[in-house]
Amino acid sequence: MRDYELNLIPPDIIQHEIFKERIRYWIFVFIGCFLLVLITNIAIKVVNNSISRDINRLESEVKRLSTEVTELNLIEIKEKEMVNIKERLSRLSQKGPMMDMFAAIDNSINDGIILTHLEARYDNPNILVNKEGPSQGGYFNSNPPSNLTNIQKAGGNILILQGTSQSNSALASILSQLSDQTMFSDVTLKYLKTGEAEKGKTIMFEIECRLSASIHKYGYIR
């Protein structure tokens, strides 16, 4: 006797159930893929945020170090400037009375005076200063020192000024101003040529300024 399998479920219902199973399967696959992508994106974002924080921290450190390096460079520049200033002050302090003499001349001279020769003579024969240089007026011009016939080669600590004056009043003014300077104990007009001053030509002169005793404290000029 043959065994017969009886399937009481209609075929259309079976096909429908198979179709639903397939739909559920693909839904689960889709949900799984979606969750995988979502988790992957979240992990990537977390890693990116961590990397961004590290990068920002490194950038902050770089900026801080750059600022410190800049400050150190500025400090080095300031130190070099201070060293240069110190060296200049040291050189100026070694020049003795010369700076005071130039300051006294600067305070005494006027626009009507042009100096052509400046010479400082000291008791010490090793100290001699002779300055000449170009100028449009007020200090030096490019002319050589005048060969004035009445120059007295007096020794001691004196300052010799030779030059030209536009007028008698300008010459009188510089004599008065030099006499008021405390570093000069005596100011004398040693030479004056006024032969053609009335025609508007300049007056040649030589002034001798004797240095006061307080100037001796400087010693040598280097």
CATH number of the domain within which 169 lies: 3.30.70
Q: Say whether both 90 and 103 belong to one domain.
A: no
Q: Say whether both 203 and 137 belong to one domain.
A: yes
CB count, 10 Å around CB of 76? 10
Structure tokens at 91: 């050189």
Q: What is the dihedral of CA 32, 34, 37, 38, to 10 degrees?
A: -110
Asked, for residue 50, whether it belongs to a domain, the answer is: yes
Q: Which residue type sits at 13?
A: I
Percentages of the chain per state (helix, strand, coil), in multiples of 5 = 55, 20, 30
Q: pLDDT of the chain along its 222 residues, tens only?
A: 455 555 666 777 778 788 888 888 899 888 989 899 999 989 898 888 888 888 888 988 889 898 889 989 999 998 888 888 888 777 666 655 677 778 888 888 888 888 888 887 765 444 444 444 433 444 444 344 444 434 344 456 788 899 888 888 888 999 999 988 888 888 988 888 875 645 667 888 999 988 886 655 544 333
Cβ burial of 11 (10 Å; 0-12, 13-18, 19+) is exposed
Give me the pLDDT at residue 107, please: 85
Q: Say whether both 151 and 172 belong to one domain.
A: yes
Q: Say whether both 129 and 176 belong to one domain.
A: yes
In contact, 157 and 150? CB cutoff 8 Å: no
In contact, 207 and 190? CB cutoff 8 Å: yes
Q: What is the dihedral of CA 64, 70, 74, 75, to 10 degrees?
A: 50
Structure tokens at 185: 């104990």
Give me the pLDDT at residue 206, please: 93
Q: Say whether both 29 and 86 belong to one domain.
A: yes
Asked, for residue 5, whether it belongs to a domain, the answer is: no
**In the chain, what is the greatest distance between 2 CA atoms, to the nearest angstrom?**
170
Name which of 112, 110, 108 is nearest 200 in CA terms.
Answer: 112
Tell me which of 94, 127, 161 is where a domain ends. Answer: 94
Q: Say whether both 105 and 214 belong to one domain.
A: yes
- What's the predicted TM-score (pTM) here? 0.45
Q: Quote the number of domains for the chain.
A: 2
Asked, for residue 143, whether it belongs to a domain, the answer is: yes
Please identify which residue in the block is written with the tokens 């280097």: 222
Strand partners, 130: 119
Give me the pLDDT at residue 122, please: 65
Q: Say whether both 83 and 114 belong to one domain.
A: no
